Amino acid sequence: MKRFTIQVALLVVVSLAVANAQRTVYKKAIKAFVTVRTDIGFGSGFFIDSVHVVTNRHVIAGATSVTLIGSSLPRPIVVRQFAGLDSKNDVAILKTVGYQHPEPLYLANQPAEVAEAIFVIGSPEGFDATFSNGLVSGYRTSENRTRLLQFTAPISPGSSGGPVLNHRSEVVGVVVSQQKDGQNLNFAVPLDMLKAVRLGQLHPLEDIQINNEQEAFTLSRAYFEGGKAAFKQADFLRAEQFLRRSLTFDSTSNLAKIGLADALYSNKKDSTYWHSIRKAFVSLRPIRLREAGKLALSVLADSVRLESDLLGGAWLLIGRIRAEQQQYIQAMYAYRQFIAQSGSEEVETLIRAEYDTVSKLARKQQAEILLAQAKTAQPKDQAGLATKSIGYYPLSDAYYIRGTAWADQNQLLWALRDLDSCLLLNPDNQLGLFKRGYYRIQIQQPQLAVNDYLHFIDLNKNSWGAWCNFSVALLRLGRHADAELKADQAVRLAPKEALSWLNRAQARLGLGKIPLAIDDLNMVLKVDPKNETAKKLLKDTVSKL
């Protein structure tokens, strides 16, 4: 029993000694350890003197700057330069400017031996300064013939670049990789390879060469995802920066192109800029829109060739850019292509308001072009005024088109002015008469509308719409008997049009023909069960009986 008690006591003493040694290593390591953050990821690193930080090359590849974060740092330190690089062994040495670290780690004099206890500190999966221990399993040669230290201490993505330490808190390796399909198959750059990295002239991080197409693709994709995340947060300037960076690694990426084009277009919507930045940005707007348009067109061309599902998005973006550039005809065409590509009523509903606005502006722009062409083609009289050609009235038609375009924008006075010009050149233009009468009703000029519809019906007695609008104008004048007759003609020509029955019902109510008016209102609801005007009139009429 006494012997057993002594053995237990010895075990406790040994365990306490090991625990104390681990704490000593941790306290030393945490003072020199940093998390290395880039725009698209993070890794680990450590100070080896007052200004130099060791990490892995792959942690900082593709970055323009990195930020060092550590519990022993007075603030995050931004680094933009490296002083040493060994791409083959995946080691990079950064240099801080304007900051000197007081407690670095030191390199061991001798390499770690197999079965020797080691300790690792890193930021696996973003958990800063995670400390673990294990053993040296051996030394291996990788596929690219680099020598690696194998160890058992647990690591995860984010641990890369962290120090591997012996029991004296000395660096014996730099964590570099793990074999995902193996258990505790973890690897580090050994001490001799780290010592072989020479410090020299400072270089910007952008000078780090990308090794192969796979690395370029990975970096491009990572920056694209960063840009997409920034875009979702409406940080369009940051999205632009990320997506430009994505294209530096893969200039053929249509995803990045369309994303960048969208960011360039959307930048104007960002309400977080300072006034001075906003003012400067406005002056760049046309240039940025042109660039966005070129990018979208590039994607469009590739999408057509590759039958890519980016085709619809490219058309929509081109439509929006062309609309902002006031190229409404091209914009309308692009919107139509987008709707055709999407083939979805839900998508069409989402952009319906945009499309309608662009369509109205496009019609006006088309009218302006047609008007200019028609004026150029017209012979001139002695007073210099355009005159009509025999049997054909292109200028009259141009005024009509522009007039309806003005009306689309609720500019009825401008619309009427153009329709007056239309009918001055061609008094028998039926479309012009119909529209002018309709607009005159809207601006409370029913008598003038009556004159237009009298003229129209002399030319065409088979238009139910003309008879219908004629009755409305007469109702506005209080001429219920005449309105009933005109509405009766509309009903005869178009018995399935609710408006014909409704106008006749209103005329008959004005004449006191209540039963006949009720019959007409019931017909309105038979043709159009959701007609709220008819429902209200019928309810009010029945309640007064």
The DSSP annotation for 129-166 comes to: TEEEEEEEEEEEE-TTS-EEEEE-S---TT-TT-EEE-
The CATH code of the domain that includes 501 is 1.25.40.10
d(CA 359, CA 365): 10
Predicted TM-score of the model (pTM): 0.59
Taking only the tens place, the pLDDT of each residue in 311-337 is 777 777 778 888 877 887 777 777 777
Q: Residue 430: count other Cβ atoms within 10 Å of its Cβ.
A: 14
Say whether both 409 and 444 belong to one domain: yes
| pLDDT score of 306 | 57
Q: Mean pLDDT score of the chain, rounded to an integer?
A: 84
pLDDT at site 199: 93
Backbone angles phi, psi at 47, to 5 degrees: -75, 135
> Is residue 519 domain-shared with residue 376, that is, in the same domain?
yes
Report the DSSP pairing between strands 170-178 and 106-107.
parallel
Mean pLDDT (whole number) for 207-227: 89
What are the CA-CA distances from residue 299 to residues 76, 81, 287, 294, 368 (Å)? 40, 35, 19, 9, 32
CB 533 within 8 A of CB 499: no
Query: Per the structure block, which two tokens stand in for 193?
Result: 């390879």
Q: What is the pLDDT of residue 235?
A: 86
Tell me: pLDDT of 45 over 90: yes
How far is 320 from 541, CA to CA, in rounded Å? 50
- Please write the tens of the pLDDT for every residue from 187-216: 999 999 999 999 999 999 999 988 888 899
pLDDT the model gives residue 15 = 53
Q: What is the domain range of residue 222?
A: 213-350
Task: Tell me which of 64 and 260 has the higher pLDDT.
Answer: 64
Instruction: Provide the percentage of residues in the chain whose pLDDT is more than 70.
Output: 83
Residue 426 and residue 483 share a domain? yes
415, 333: one domain: no
Are 377 and 317 in the same domain?
no
Inter-CA distances, 122 with 129, 418, 447, Å: 5, 76, 87
Q: How confident is the model at residue 276 (pLDDT cuts 50, 70, 90)?
A: very low
> pLDDT at residue 450 above 80?
yes
Q: What is the DSSP letter of 210?
A: P
At residue 71, the pLDDT reads: 93
Q: Which amino acid is at 493?
A: L
Query: In this structure, how many other beta carbons lie within 10 angstroms of the beta carbon of residue 305?
Result: 8
Judgement on whether residues 436 and 385 belong to the same structural domain of the protein: yes
- The separation between CA 373 and the C-alpha centre of its own chain, rounded to angstroms, equals 39
Q: Are 250 and 256 in contact (CB under 8 A)?
A: yes
Distance of CA 154 to the CA centre of its chain: 40
CA distances from 258 to 7, 352, 386 (A): 72, 22, 48
Token pair in block for residue 288: 């940025």
Q: Is residue 16 part of a domain?
A: no
Instruction: Kindly state whether residue 46 falls inside one of the protein's structural domains.
Output: yes
Let me know if residue 6 belongs to a domain: no
- Angstrom distance (rounded) from CA 365 to CA 372: 11
The arithmetic mean of pLDDT across residues 420-432, rounded, is 86
The Cβ of residue 423 has, within 10 Å, a number of other Cβ atoms equal to 21
Q: Are residues 334 and 418 in the same domain?
A: no
Do 464 and 372 belong to one domain?
A: yes
Euclidean distance between CA atoms 437 and 484, whole angstroms: 18
Q: Residue 48 phi/psi, 5° resolution? A: -110, -10
- Band (pLDDT 50/70/90 cuts) for residue 30 is very high
Which amino acid is it at 482? Answer: D
Domain boundary among the residues 350, 375, 402 is at 350
Which of these ranges, 51-55, 289-293, 316-320, 341-345, has the smallest mean pLDDT?
Answer: 341-345
DSSP notation for 375-435: HHHS-B-TTS-B-PBTTB-HHHHHHHHHHHHHHHTT-HHHHHHHHHHHHHH-TT-HHHHHH
**Measured distance CA(420)–CA(432) in Å, rounded:** 8
Q: Are 151 and 161 in contact (CB under 8 A)?
A: no
How many helices (H) and strands (E) the chain has is answered by: 20, 15
- Is position 4 within any domain? no
Q: Which whole number is the average pLDDT over 469-497?
A: 94
Which residue shows structure tokens 């990308």?
210
**pLDDT-derived band at 444, boundaries 50, 70, 90:** very high
Do 312 and 383 share a domain, yes or no? no
- Mapping DSSP to helix (H, G, I), strand (E, B) and coil, where does residue 293 land? helix
pLDDT (average), residues 411-440:
89
pLDDT at position 279 over 50: no
Are 119 and 242 contained in the same domain? no
pLDDT number for residue 434:
95
CATH number for 122: 2.40.10.120
Domain final position from 145, 174, 206: 206
Q: Tell whether 385 and 527 lie within a shared domain.
A: yes
Q: Cα 144 vs. chain centroid, distance in angstroms?
A: 41
* Residue 2 falls inside a structural domain: no
Rounded distance between C-alpha atoms, residue 514 and residue 545, angstroms: 9
Q: Is residue 1 part of a domain?
A: no
The residue with greater pLDDT, 167 or 295, is 167
Q: Find the mean pLDDT for residues 483-490.
A: 94
Mean pLDDT of 494-514: 93
Taking the CB of residue 19, how many other CB atoms lie within 10 A of it? 10
Q: How confident is the model at residue 184 (pLDDT cuts 50, 70, 90)?
A: confident
Residue 358 lies in a domain: no
Q: Are residues 507 and 371 in the same domain?
A: yes
Tens of pLDDT, residue by residue over 47-85, are: 999 999 999 999 999 999 999 999 999 999 999 999 999
pLDDT for 182 equals 64
Domain membership flag for residue 12? no
| Chain segment 113-127, per-residue pLDDT in tens | 999 999 999 999 989
Instruction: Write down which residue in 306, 324, 350 finishes a domain.
Output: 350
Judged on CB neighbours under 10 Å (0-12, 13-18, 19+), 492 is exposed
What is the number of domains present in the chain? 3
Instruction: Look at residue 274 in the predicted model and tell me its pLDDT.
Output: 38
- Residue 326 Rama label (left phi>0; alpha psi -120 to 50; beta): left
